[in-house]
Structure 1
């Protein structure tokens, strides 16, 4: 039997049409139903290069085919004239003819022409096709696994591009935030490199990889600068040697409390709002503070820097309230809190503590060792991580205590955690 016996002589043969005819004459037809083939064809329409008209024609032809013709070794054939198909699509007959030819050359359909060029299907009493002339879907059935693989690969590529675009946006914003939040280290070169990567004409996947590498280098450079600064200053930030003209007031008889009255250089600038949740803790301390009041000398307020508003602990090095606000978005949305200022962070500590199931005594101990500002900042980071990935942090209270222990030892990279949360 000639390979092209079902193609009329008036058609101009192409390699694609010949390949479709060979597939249509195959005897090895997989038992794949109409719905599976239809889904695979529509998913692979773009990588197969189908135009919108060809896709529309394909959709109509699939709808006209009978599901029973797709069972077993059946050959689903659709008999419809070009004129009627053109009326369905809303295009001219010549446009429909070109669309059908494109589907045939894409090895989705095959021509099964009659001698007169007419298309019809003859069925027996059982509804089975005895002979038919029209457009044959057998090539699509034979190529089902190949078409499905093409669709899966195309979808994976689309997902990779979409994720790469998201990575480019997320990482570039994180780099800008880090550069703007860090005032004591010149990181402008990283911003210039980021702009050069964004303006490059390379693929979005390459841009995402380059930006991720640049972000890692930025975090590493910032961490090394902080470590070098700590070594150079002899870890003075942890011992309080930088806080000149400050007379700290230690309360050794009440280890449960972290809300003792502190006299600092900027005490006349900041008035923390009273929190009713801590009233039971504050009252005894005020009484004891009244009995053992220490006279302090008033000092002028220090000029604020670009760092955190409070420098009572080395754990707050490179930590600003704006960085905390941009990193702890889940805490703010889930708990209905605002972290736009340090007083608001201190007021929100009670809600966050209850939210992660941390006891008052544990938080009070952390405040006594690190200061209330540093303890609240660590609490916000722990709450954010616990809300984002509850399965990863099974015990937020224990995780908070471990972070506080590392902060006391000077090993807690709180700024790096915040940068990572902001980028994620």
Structure 2
């Protein structure tokens, strides 16, 4: 058993209420109490954030515990260890003496050790004739035994919080992946919806993620992201259901009957010979109507249909003309995704589409893109989107060997309906946003 009573520190070290409380707790240990010291040390390592001690302080405590000869800390034994600073430094891999003193003081302040200072401040032991320890001066491990239950609960609490934080991070990662891929799919397939607004809401939530997160911070962000994913899914599912229902076999809207009974087939054209010997192609189907339009000689333009039917407009376009130019994306999104083109605008800024197209002409020359390639892109994509593609190429110019060939390839793919600008813009916007977030 340790000597009863309260001891004060040697020298200039002042007595504190914390030291007094630690010694009072140590006096309450039952003689029957015992705990495996290395199991207790593992709990200490788990509970370190709650105990407010550093990892190096725990290394010093580990060295002190190694000087206790038994594996079990028992309330019936003298739990004072008394190594010299030199021996303690060797077991802490050569830690400097001043550093040892600082960490020992931190362990005492945390209530994990109690000083048992001798009259001269040295650490030593007095033994009786039988070799049993009579008086020992050094550091008592009794507070560890007294607080074993508390330390175990703190360790379990820290472990539970860590597991909760891990699950929240995993769920946020899955929801982020779903949102990004769903928006990209919607843009690639041309589904209607305010997808750029969804992307903006997604970024607002992502920018709120700190480098060191807690469950209190992550829970509302996860809730907002899950609500956004549900909104995106609802918007897509409605359009998918409508699209699929229009193609069911039992629907009659796609079955066309020829109103002229003398026709042998609805899909084959009829060739009639005029009096002047010319052949005229007649058909009731849209495809053959286009062929008939190509077969007719050029003449005065017919008046445009006043109803403005979109399907009628598409029929009047000649075969091989490709899809109509895509609508331009918002200029702020383009500048966020492609900031490197801004200095090439008039006066070093870009405030309108005209400024962006002016900058694109300058960048086109700088990237050695031929005027014909840029004109083809303007014809297929539209002037705004062509300027946007130039800005994207400038942003990734270090990874593109031939900017002109790349632009021609994108134009050909867009003409076949195989390329949309949305995914490219979103990828660049996320790439340019990442450093700002992590500086996350």
Q: TM-score, normalised by structure 1?
A: 0.51
**Following superposition of structure 1 onto structure 2, how do residues 199-218 of structure 1 map, counting pairs within 5 Å?**
199-200=207-208, 203=213, 205=215, 206-207=217-218, 209-218=220-229
Q: Is this contact kept in 2: 1:167–1:208, CA < 8 A?
A: no
Question: What secondary structure does 1:179 align onto?
Answer: helix
Unaligned runs of 5+ in 2: 257-266, 268-284, 289-318, 324-440
Give CA deviations for 1:336-360 in whole Å, capped at 9, x if unaligned.
xxxxxxxxxxxxxxxxxxxxxxxxx
Partners in 2 of 1:162 and 1:69 — Cα distance? 34
Q: Is this contact kept in 2: 1:8–1:117, CA < 8 A?
A: yes
Unaligned runs of 5+ in 1: 247-264, 266-296, 305-424
Larger radius of gyration: 2
Deviation at 1:145, TM superposition (A): 1.0
**Following superposition of structure 1 onto structure 2, how do residues 23-422 of structure 1 map, counting pairs within 5 Å?**
23-28=25-30, 30-67=33-70, 70-89=73-92, 90-122=94-126, 129-182=133-186, 183-186=190-193, 187-200=195-208, 203=213, 205=215, 206-207=217-218, 209-220=220-231, 222-223=233-234, 226-227=237-238, 230=241, 235-239=245-249, 241=251, 244=254
Partners in 1 of 2:132 and 2:64 — Cα distance? 18
Pick from 3, 6, 11 the counterpart of residue 4 of structure 1.
6
Q: Is this contact kept in 2: 1:33–1:70, CA < 8 A?
A: yes
Partners in 1 of 2:106 and 2:51 — Cα distance? 10
Query: How many correspondences in the alignment?
Result: 256
Give CA deviations for 1:269-317 in whole Å, capped at 9, x if unaligned.
xxxxxxxxxxxxxxxxxxxxxxxxxxxx9x899999xxxxxxxxxxxxx
Q: Would the alpha carbon gap of residues 75 and 175 (structure 1) be closer, same or farther in structure 2, given more than 3 Å must change? A: farther
Q: Is this contact kept in 1: 2:29–2:146, CA < 8 A?
A: no
Question: What secondary structure does 2:139 align onto?
Answer: strand
Partners in 2 of 1:127 and 1:242 — Cα distance? 105
Deviates more, 1:146-155 or 1:233-242: 233-242
Q: Is this contact kept in 2: 1:69–1:76, CA < 8 A?
A: no
Q: Would the alpha carbon gap of residues 65 and 185 (structure 1) be closer, same or farther in structure 2, given more than 3 Å must change? A: farther
Q: TM-score, normalised by structure 2?
A: 0.49
Question: What secondary structure does 1:239 align onto?
Answer: coil
